[in-house]
Amino acid sequence: MGLTVKEKVPLSIIMAGGMGVRFGRSDKYLSLIGGIPILYRIFKTAGTFSNKVVVCTKKESRSAINYCEEMKINYITEEEEDYVKAIRYALCKLNIFPAMVISGDIFVFNITHLTDLISFAESSEAEVITLLQRGRPVGISVFKRCPGKNEELTNESFNVNADFCVNVNTLRDYEIALELYSSKSDSI
């Protein structure tokens, strides 16, 4: 299936099942930026580019499950300890492609580069397109199919030489996201 920005990506999966060890609590995705939880911001951002958005979380992640139920956000639960295996589980279970996978702790303050990623994914022959910010992965990728067990898909990177998001792994990252929120106008 061809992918165009006008059509949107059929599916976005938000991965929100981590332990939050470096942040200090497992429900960091509920931390507020501008009075809105990071998870809801990601949900709104993904909805801009996707026909369907689903949160993938752990069965024991009651705060994520309760929040999704309260906000009427579709979710699935998984039991994988490994992030890559959890992504594979979600991709194969939902089986809608292409799919954008987004870490549940990303604050995107310039969504233009997600449009660029989708356009690039459409023209790429690779099965996975990984978004980079200044040469570093940010936790956003487009998958064109589900990987088989122990299979590596062909990968291509799409690099943006500008700051457009913050992966909120630590309290310092959260402070940076708060500072950027107050200075940027096109964040969701």
Show the domains of the chain with their CATH numbers: 9-183 (3.90.550.10)
Alpha helices in 56-170 (DSSP H): 62-71, 83-94, 112-123
- Per-residue pLDDT averaged across 28-34, rounded? 92
Given a cut of 70, is residue 2 above it in pLDDT?
Answer: no
pTM for the whole structure: 0.91
Model pLDDT, residue 75: 97
Closest to 166 in 3D by CA, of 150, 154, 178: 178
pLDDT band for 7, please (50, 70, 90 cuts).
low
pLDDT digits (tens, 9 = 90+) for 137-176: 999 999 999 998 889 999 999 999 999 999 999 999 999 9
Residue found under tokens 């898909």: 153
If you count DSSP H runs as helices and E runs as strands, how many of each does the chain have, helices first? 5, 11
Sign of CA dihedral 80, 94, 26, 155: positive
Report percent pLDDT > 90 for the chain: 73
When the pLDDT of each residue in the chain is averaged and rounded to a whole number, the result is: 90
User: According to the per-residue pLDDT averaged within each range, which of 2-6, 78-82, 123-127 is highest?
Assistant: 123-127
Model pLDDT, residue 1: 41
Residue found under tokens 């949900």: 43
Beta bridge partners of 55: 14, 75
pLDDT digits (tens, 9 = 90+) for 95-123: 999 999 999 999 998 898 999 999 999 99
Answer with the residue of higher pLDDT: 60 or 131.
131
Residue found under tokens 């310092």: 172
Residue 147 backbone phi and psi in degrees, to 5: -75, 145
